[in-house]
Structure formats: structure tokens, C-alpha cells
């Protein structure tokens, strides 16, 4: 916990892990500037308590964006005083994107409707926004109930966090967390097009890519109540998330994206070449076709690596230009 709090005090940027200390300047956030955003799909067992929990904490602007629940979710949410909207498309990602467009206040606290997150952590989640951060991730691993995450989900989460660190170069500790606080302004700067459970991954990657000031705070995470059912398919959704993580590397870390394919080409071409050489030296048998395939794979591999290096240079230059542009815009605004 302590460690998390310390790390949460630093600003993580998306341009190669540069860490800058935040200033002590604060702008108090009042609860009516915050919208609690809850995407739901068949959460009748828990949605009432979740909404009540936020009311008790003083947050009365609650928007529930529903994905066409077949239970009482929408009725319960309406009765407890939340504003209920029905998403026009499908999936949690589409629901969140649509709801943020609808929100009129500057700050959003997004949370699942399944009662696994604690409304009492709301203030802790929002506090970094008052210090100038634009996106806050609640780290569930800081204080997790023993039965809150199945072994397979826990393993998948750790694997995905590690892959994110390696590919995207930032440590957000728990990128799949559903508890997020962010400014509407920063959300609008991200290019999001994820529909389903890849929304959290996309949020993390886009924050790195656009240099959004992001931080992590420790939160508690409990098990879903017994009567409530998950919408997540660990294997299918886990696979989709890993594919998304990799494909999002194309514009964020092209050296990894093209380089890994290139290395794969070189390695498989090299292995075939070794086999051909061994057969020729040992038995005097030639494999012309295999030799051709191997040469093609090695050549293609090298080309992909070179392409990765070039794309990486382009991305670095683009980041540099964007940073300068942001600096000029800031200076112009300060001069006004
Ligand atoms: N609007 C909308 N909400 C959804 C949809 N799918 C899931 N949700 C909600 O998104 C939140 C997260 O979904 P969960 O099923 O809890 O997924 P999870 O937290 O990764 O999985 P668990 O470990 O089972 O809690 C919940 O509040 C769901 O009700 C959807 O298609 N549309
Ligand atoms: Mg959940």
C-alpha cells in the first residue's frame, strides 16, 4: 500500500518513462463537478447498493448506462435516483464512450455496477485530479479479497500488466481495473474505438500514447456477491485483450510490433537453414525448396526489423513535435 502511494505521487508520461514530480498546486473538486458513471448489464443484484454507496459519499450525479439488461437493473437504478440511459450499441466500451459524450460535468468517476469496488474509495480516486492529473487508475491488487479474483483471472491480469509494461513502457500496475477517474477533456483527446472489455486496455495505451498525466492509487476490491453473475469470459476476453494490446503497439511502439514479427521470421528462417545445412553435411541431401523458403523468411524478417526501426524514428519525431506544440499552446495560453 505504502509503495503504491509513493509511486502514485509521480507523473507518468508516455514518452519513454520520463517521470516528473507533480506540483503542490491544488484545485479543489466539488462533488457536483463529478459524474459517477456506471455501465451495467444485468446487475439488479448489486446496482441499488452501488448507487446508495455513492450517495452516502456525497456524489449524487450518477449516470447508469445500460446495455439492455433483461432484469430489473434499469428500474432499480431509476428508483435510487440515478439517471439511466440505454446504450445504442453493444459492449461496455461502446457504452462508456457514448455516456461520456452525454456527461456535462468536467470529471468522471467510472465504476462497475457489480459491487466489487468500494464507493468509499471515491475521494482517493478523485484526489489526484485536483493536483492536475488527468487519468487515475485504481489498483485492485493493493487490497484484494482472497476470493475476489479466480486464479486464472489473476494469472491473466498479471500477464497482461507485464505485457503492457514491456510493450508500452509504462507501469500502471492494474490496467484492467474498472475503477477510473478522469477528466472529460482528456477522455476526448483519446482515440478510442473499443466496444467490449478491451476498453480498459485501450484507455491505458491511449493515455501513454497521448502523454495524458496518469497515476495509480491503491483501492480495495471484493468478490462479486453470490447472486450476481459475471459478464466476462476469461479465456475469450483475455485473448481479445492480449491481441488488442499487441495491435495497439503498431502506432505506440512500432519497433516492438514489426520487430517481433521480424525476429520471428529470422528465427524460423534460421532454424530451417540449420536443418538444410545439417541434412546436406550429414547425408549429402539437398533441400532446394526449403533453402529458398528459409532465405525468404530471413530476408523478410530483416526487412520487418528495418521497417520497425524507421517507424520508431517517425513516432519519436512525432512525439517530439507534439510536445513542442503543446508547450507553445501552453505558453500562448499563459500569455493571454
Ligand atoms: N452497458 C453495458 N455494460 C456492460 C456490458 N458488459 C458488461 N457491462 C458492465 O460492465 C461492468 C464490468 O463487467 P463485469 O462483468 O463485472 O466484468 P469484470 O469486472 O471484468 O468481471 P468480474 O470479475 O466478473 O467482475 C459491469 O458493471 C457490467 O454490468 C455491456 O455490454 N453494456
Ligand atoms: Mg466486475
Q: Which residues are near ligand 1 (CB < 6 Å)?
A: 39-41, 43, 65-67, 87, 90-92, 95, 112-114, 116, 178, 224, 230-232
Atom of ligand 1 nearest to the CA of 40: 29
Residues 317 and 135: their CA atoms lie apart, in Å, by 25
Ligand 1, atom 17: closest residue by C-alpha: 232
- 42 CA to middle of ligand 1, Å? 9
Instruction: State whether 221 and 300 are in the same domain.
Output: no
- As a whole-number percent, the residues of the chain with pLDDT over 70 amount to 93
Instruction: State whether 203 and 107 are in the same domain.
Output: yes
Q: Which of 219, 251, 283 is the last residue of a domain?
A: 251
Question: Does 41 have pLDDT greater than 60?
Answer: yes
* pLDDT 10s digits, 252-272: 999 999 999 999 999 999 999
- 230 CA to middle of ligand 2, Å? 7
Question: Does 234 have pLDDT greater than 50?
Answer: yes
Ligand 1, atom 12: closest residue by C-alpha: 112
Choice from 87, 113, 114 to test ligand 1 binding pocket (greatest atom count within 8 A of CB)? 114
Instruction: State whether 238 and 266 are in the same domain.
Output: no
- 227 CA to middle of ligand 2, Å? 13
Residues 53 and 37: their CA atoms lie apart, in Å, by 13
Instruction: State whether 21 and 111 are in the same domain.
Output: yes
**Contact of 103 with 34, CB cutoff 8 Å:** no
Instruction: State whether 280 and 237 are in the same domain.
Output: no
**Contact of 44 with 113, CB cutoff 8 Å:** no
In this prediction, residue 13 carries a pLDDT of 38
In this prediction, residue 12 carries a pLDDT of 40
Question: Does 299 have pLDDT greater than 80?
Answer: yes
- Per the structure, how many domains does the chain have? 2
Three-state SS for the chain is: CHHHHHHCCEEECCCCCCEEECCCCCCCCCHHHEEEEEEECCCCCCHHHHHHHHHHCCCCCEEEEECCCCCCHHHHHHHCCCEEEECCCCCHHHHHHHHHHHCCCCEEEECCCCCCECHHHHHHHHHHHHCCCCEEEEEEEEEECCCCCCHHHHHHHHHHHHHHHHHHCCCCCCCCCCCEEEEHHHHHHCCCCCCCCCHHHHHHHHHHHCCCCEEEEEEEECCCCCCCCCCCCHHHHHHHHHHHHHHCHHHHCHHHHHHHHHHHHHHHHHHHHHHHHHHHHHHCCCCHHHHHHHHHHHHHHHHHHHHHHHHHHHHHHHHHHHHHHHHHHHHHHHHC
What's the length of the chain? 336
Atom of ligand 1 nearest to the CA of 112: 27
- 148 CA to middle of ligand 2, Å? 9
2 pLDDT band, cuts 50/70/90, is very low
Instruction: State whether 125 and 261 are in the same domain.
Output: no
In this prediction, residue 333 carries a pLDDT of 85
Instruction: State whether 237 and 309 are in the same domain.
Output: no
Burial (CB count within 10 angstroms: exposed 0-12, middle 13-18, buried 19+), residue 318: exposed
Ligand 1, atom 21: closest residue by C-alpha: 232
Question: Does 178 have pLDDT greater than 80?
Answer: yes
Note the pTM of the prediction, 2 decimals: 0.85
Q: Which of 190, 218, 251 is the last residue of a domain?
A: 251
117 pLDDT band, cuts 50/70/90, is very high
Q: Which of 251, 279, 295 is the last residue of a domain?
A: 251
Question: Does 330 have pLDDT greater than 90?
Answer: no
Instruction: State whether 305 and 190 are in the same domain.
Output: no
Ligand nearest to the CA of 197: 1
- 231 CA to middle of ligand 1, Å? 5
Instruction: State whether 154 and 260 are in the same domain.
Output: no
Ligand nearest to the CA of 50: 1
- 134 CA to middle of ligand 2, Å? 23
Range of the domain at 298: 254-335
Mean pLDDT over the full length of the chain:
90
- 275 CA to middle of ligand 2, Å? 50
Choice from 37, 39, 111 to test ligand 1 binding pocket (greatest atom count within 8 A of CB)? 39
**Contact of 113 with 46, CB cutoff 8 Å:** yes
Amino acid at each position: 500500500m505504502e509503495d503504491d502511494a509513493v509511486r502514485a505521487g509521480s507523473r507518468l508520461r508516455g514518452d519513454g518513462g520520463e517521470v516528473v514530480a507533480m506540483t503542490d498546486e491544488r484545485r479543489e473538486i466539488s462533488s457536483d463537478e463529478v459524474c459517477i458513471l456506471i455501465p451495467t448489464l444485468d446487475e439488479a443484484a448489486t446496482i441499488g447498493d452501488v448507487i446508495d454507496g455513492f450517495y452516502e459519499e456525497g456524489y449524487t450525479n450518477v449516470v447508469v448506462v445500460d446495455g439492455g439488461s433483461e432484469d430489473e437493473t434499469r428500474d432499480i437504478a431509476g428508483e435510487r435516483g440515478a439517471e439511466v440511459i440505454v446504450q445504442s450499441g453493444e459492449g461496455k466500451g461502446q457504452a462508456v464512450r457514448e455516456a461520456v459524450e452525454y456527461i456535462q460535468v468536467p470529471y468522471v468517476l467510472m465504476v462497475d455496477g457489480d459491487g466489487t469496488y468500494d464507493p468509499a474509495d471515491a475521494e482517493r480516486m478523485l484526489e489526484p485530479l485536483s493536483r492536475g492529473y488527468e487519468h487515475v487508475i485504481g489498483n485492485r491488487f493493493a487490497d484484494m479479497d482472497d476470493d475476489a479474483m479466480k486464479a486464472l483471472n489473476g494469472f491473466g491480469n498479471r500477464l497482461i500488466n507485464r505485457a503492457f509494461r514491456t510493450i508500452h513502457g509504462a507501469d500502471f500496475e492494474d490496467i484492467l481495473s474498472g475503477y477510473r477517474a478522469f477528466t472529460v477533456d482528456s477522455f476526448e483527446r483519446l482515440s478510442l474505438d473499443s466496444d467490449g472489455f478491451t476498453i480498459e486496455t485501450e484507455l491505458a495505451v491511449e493515455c501513454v500514447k497521448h502523454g495524458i498525466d496518469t497515476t495509480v492509487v491503491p483501492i480495495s476490491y471484493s468478490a462479486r456477491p453470490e447472486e450476481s453473475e459475471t459478464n466476462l469470459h476469461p479465456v475469450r476476453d483475455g485473448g481479445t485483450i492480449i491481441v488488442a494490446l499487441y495491435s495497439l503497439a503498431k502506432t505506440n511502439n512500432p519497433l516492438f510490433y514489426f520487430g517481433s514479427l521480424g525476429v520471428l521470421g529470422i528465427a524460423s528462417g534460421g532454424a530451417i537453414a540449420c536443418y538444410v545445412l545439417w541434412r546436406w553435411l550429414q547425408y549429402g541431401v539437398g533441400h532446394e525448396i526449403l533453402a529458398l523458403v528459409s532465405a525468404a523468411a530471413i530476408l523478410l524478417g530483416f526487412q520487418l526489423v528495418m521497417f520497425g526501426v524507421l517507424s520508431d524514428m517517425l513516432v519519436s519525431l512525432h512525439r517530439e513535435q507534439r510536445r513542442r506544440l503543446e508547450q507553445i499552446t501552453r505558453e500562448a495560453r499563459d500569455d493571454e
